[in-house]
Amino acid sequence: MSKVVVAKYTVNGERFEIFVDSDRAYEFITGKRKDAFSVLESEEIFEDANKGKRQSQDKLKKAFETIDTIKIAEIILKKGDVPITTEQRNKLLEEKRKQIIDIIARNSIDPRTKAPHTVQRIDAALHEAKIAIDPFKNANSEGRGRHSSRVCKQMLQPPKTIWPKIRGMASGRLLKGEA
C-alpha cells in the first residue's frame, strides 16, 4: 500500500506542492527511479495541496520557466522538501555515510606508514567526533578534499582530538598527492 505525501518547494516566496508516492519519491531521490511522472499521484501543481488550491499557470511559468508538470515535478523532487519515513532516512544516511567513508579512505594516507587509512579507522573517527552527515547532500562534496570537505573540516575542529587515530588529516596530509 502506497503512502501519499506532499512534496513542497518555495521559489521567490511562492509555494509549489505536489502529491507523490512516498516510496517512489524515495527511489527518485536516491537515483533508483528516473521517471518523475511515475512518482506523481496527481498531475496538478498546487499552492496549497491540502486545501486543493492549484497554482496559477503564470506563477508556474515565472518560477520554473515552463508549465510542463513533469519538468516542474522533477525540480520539486530534486530541490524541494520531500517527507520520507524514518526507516528511509536511516537507510539513506547509512548509504551516504559509507560513501563518504569510502571517499576519505581512497583519498587519505597515514603519513607514518604511507598506507591508506582503513575504513574501520575512519568510521570510528566519525563516530567518536559525532559528525552529522546530511543524507541529501552529494557524498563527493561531503567527503572529498581537505579544503572543500565539510566532514573533514569538522573532524579537524578543536576540541575534537580524534585525529591521533588519523594523523594524516590532522597534520594536513589528507589527500594522496598532498602529503
pLDDT for the residue 154: 64
Domains annotated for the chain, with CATH where assigned, are 4-79 (3.30.1250.10), 86-170 (1.10.10.900)
Distances 70 to 23, 32, 39, 44, 163 between C-alpha atoms, Å: 18, 17, 10, 10, 47
Return the SS3 of 8: strand
pLDDT for the residue 145: 47
Return the SS3 of 155: helix
pLDDT for the residue 174: 44
Query: What is the Cα–Cα distance from 57 to 92, expressed in whole angstroms?
Result: 35
pLDDT for the residue 132: 79
Residue ranges in the chain whose pLDDT is less than 70: 1-2, 141-179
pLDDT for the residue 178: 43
